[in-house]
Structure 1
Amino acid sequence: MDREAREQYLVVVQVKDMLGLSGGYSTSTTVTVSLTDVNDNGPTFQHHLYTFAVPENAALGTTVGRIMAEDGDVGINAKMTYTLDDDLEENATFIIQTDPVTQEGVVLLAQVALI
């Protein structure tokens, strides 16, 4: 089963007395089965490459750009946290924060780059 394809199933259950033989009585009810989400989808970026421009005299804390990823899960399984790769020298110049409302990564100017 895949919750992302179908979240809910309706099943009709019938019960019969007299072992189901002719002349017995029966009744039925509907059972709703809802699938709960498991973390079976990884986040994917909407684009493979993002390009932003920022004025060279931009103030610290200036938003450089917003990056969006999507996750097919729901609830806590779809909550994302953006981080910068620790190996990149540029990380001293930029930081990224996760917008809790839009789930976007917000790239901010952390310090003025020295040339």
Structure 2
Amino acid sequence: MAKHEFGIMDAAPTLEQKYNNYEPEKYHCISVADDAIEPLMKEFSEIPCYWHSLKREESGLAYCGISIIPPHSLKKFLSIIDGKTQFNELNDLLQKAFQENKFVIHFGI
């Protein structure tokens, strides 16, 4: 089963950092099934994110890549998954990141 992984970044990324390696264990990621994520990709496409680096500002998740979700985008992300039980664990992670004003990293399929 294909999956997406999400984790809280302990330190905010810098402009010079690049995220090109699959390292979910480094960020203590949780997994979310692609079957749950894929139907919401259109809604996620309106969320300001970065792909692989803060130098690459995009909208939405890098479906097959690495996304960096800034703290100011977490509220919008949470509003999309709110009330959907398949996202309970992700909701908890995003709520924690929001409360701590931290970035979230996403590893696509």
Q: Is the pair's TM-score, using the shorter chain for normalization, greater than 0.5? A: no
| Larger proportion of helix | 2
Q: Which has the higher contact order (CA 8 A, sep 6+)?
A: 2
| Structure number with bigger Rg | 1
| Larger proportion of strand | 1
- Name the TM-score class by shorter chain: under 0.3
Compute the TM-score of the two structures, normalised by the length of structure 2. 0.25
